[in-house]
Copies of this chain bind each other. A is one copy, B any other.
Amino acid sequence: MRVLILGGDGYLGWPTAMHFSALGHEVLVVDNYLRRRIAKKTHSEPLIEGGDLATRTALYENVLGTHIDWLELDLADPESMFHAVKTQRPHAIIHYAEQPSAPFSMMEFDAARLTLNNNLNVTFNLIWAVLQECRDAHIIKLGTMGEYGTPNVDIEEGWIEIEHKGRRDKFLFPRQAGSLYHTTKVLDTDLLWFYVRTYGLQVTDLMQGPVYGLSTDQADKDHGLAPNFHYDDIFGTVVNRFIVQAVASVPLTVYGKGGQTRGYLNLKDTLQCVHLATQHLPGTGQMRILNQITETFSVCEIAERVKSVGNAMGLNVDIKSIPNPRKEAEMHYYNPSYSGLKEMGLQPHYMTDEVLAEMLEAVLRHRNRIDREKIMPRVQWS
C-alpha cells in the first residue's frame, strides 16, 4: 500500500510513518515544521525531540532497514498539496497536518488566524487533490473528541438519529468545541462531510482523545527515533505536564475543580487504530466516524494516578488546584461511545501504573533539562 502521511514530523505523524513502513508499506511523509517554529517562538520547546525528517528517516533506515520518503512542504499551499498527492499516488492518506495547540489558537489574533487558515486550507486542499488526482484514495482524518465538547447526553460515534415532533432523521452528532483549535476540527468535519456526500469521496474521521506515551515498537529501537515530548502549556497535554511536574517536584497543577473528563489512549493504540482504519475501507460516499479512545479519566483521577505511581518511585508528588485559564465545564456529564475500533480488532493498551512509571522514567533521564517556566498556563481563554 502507498501511504501518504501529512504532518509526519509530529508526535503522532512520525511514529505512524515508522509503523506503516515497518509493516512493509511505501510511506511518504510531508511536514513544514510549523509546530517546531511555533514551539520556538512561544518558548515551548519539547523535552524530547528527534532531528528533522532528513535526520530521522536516515537513522530509521540505518536501524530498521527500510526507507521512508519525505518532503518539506507547506500543505496549506495548494500546489504543494497537489505535488505531494501526485508524487505518492496514495491508497491511504493520513491527515495529521494541523496546528494542534488549543492554547496557541486562543493566544491572540495572529495565532488564531494562522490556526483557522492553516487547518482549513490543508483539509480543503487535500479534498481537492484527492478529487482531482486519486478519487478512490481513502482519507483518514484525525479529528478530536473535543469536537463534541461535553454535552449533557451520551456522545455517539459521529452520528445521531434524532426524533423530533414525530419524525426522524440522522445527522452529524452536534459539535460544540472548547477552543478555536477544536472548532477548526469541527469545520474540517463539516467540509469533509459536504464533499463526501457530494462527490463520493471515502473518509474515515477519527475523533481522538489526548494521546500519551513514548513507546512504540520502532521508537524503542533508538533514542533518536523517539516521538517528541512536550510538557509546556502550549503543546503539552495534561498527562505530560503531570509527569514532568512529578519529576520536577512541582505540585501537579489541576485547572479548577479537575472534574474535566476526557477519553485518553496510548500512543501504541493510535498506531493500531490508524492501521485498522486503513484495513477497513468505509466505501465510496461514506464518512465513517470513530471515537478513538480506550478509557476516560477526570483530570483529578490522572493527577491521583501520577501522584501514586510517582510517590511509589520515591518522588515527592503533590497536587494543587489553580485557577482555570480555560472556559470549560469543570464538573459535567461525560459518556462517550467508543466501540467501533474495538469491533475492528483494537487491543487496548491501558494507562496502567507500569505505563505511567515508564513515562516517569523516560522523563527522569532528561530531568536536568526541564524548564519550570514552561509549565504554568500563559494563555487565558478570556
Contact = CB atoms under 8 A, between A and B. Distances in A.
A313 B175 CA distance: 52
Nearest to A161: B164
B172 A164 contact: no
A333 interface: yes
Nearest to A174: B171
B177 A174 contact: no
A369 interface: no
B191 A187 contact: yes
A78 B174 CA distance: 30
Contacts of A112: 124, 128
Interface stretch (A44-52, A146-154, A258-266): A146-154
A350 interface: no
Interface stretch (A115-123, A215-223, A276-284): A115-123
A151 B153 CA distance: 22
A176 interface: yes
A183 interface: yes
B194 A169 contact: no
A167 interface: yes
A41 interface: no
B183 A191 contact: yes
A194 B198 contact: no
Interface in A168-182: 168-169, 171-172, 174-177, 180
Interface of A: 78, 109, 112-113, 116-117, 120-121, 124, 128, 132, 151-154, 160, 162-165, 167-169, 171-172, 174-177, 180, 183, 186-187, 190-191, 193-194, 197-199, 327, 333, 381-382
28 contacts: A109-B128, A109-B132, A112-B124, A113-B121, A113-B128, A116-B120, A116-B121, A117-B121, A120-B120, A151-B171, A152-B167, A153-B162, A153-B165, A153-B167, A153-B168, A154-B164, A154-B165, A154-B167, A160-B164, A162-B162, A169-B174, A171-B176, A176-B193, A180-B194, A183-B194, A187-B187, A197-B327, A199-B382
Given A120-B120, A153-B167, A183-B194, 4 more contacts: A113-B128, A116-B120, A154-B167, A162-B164
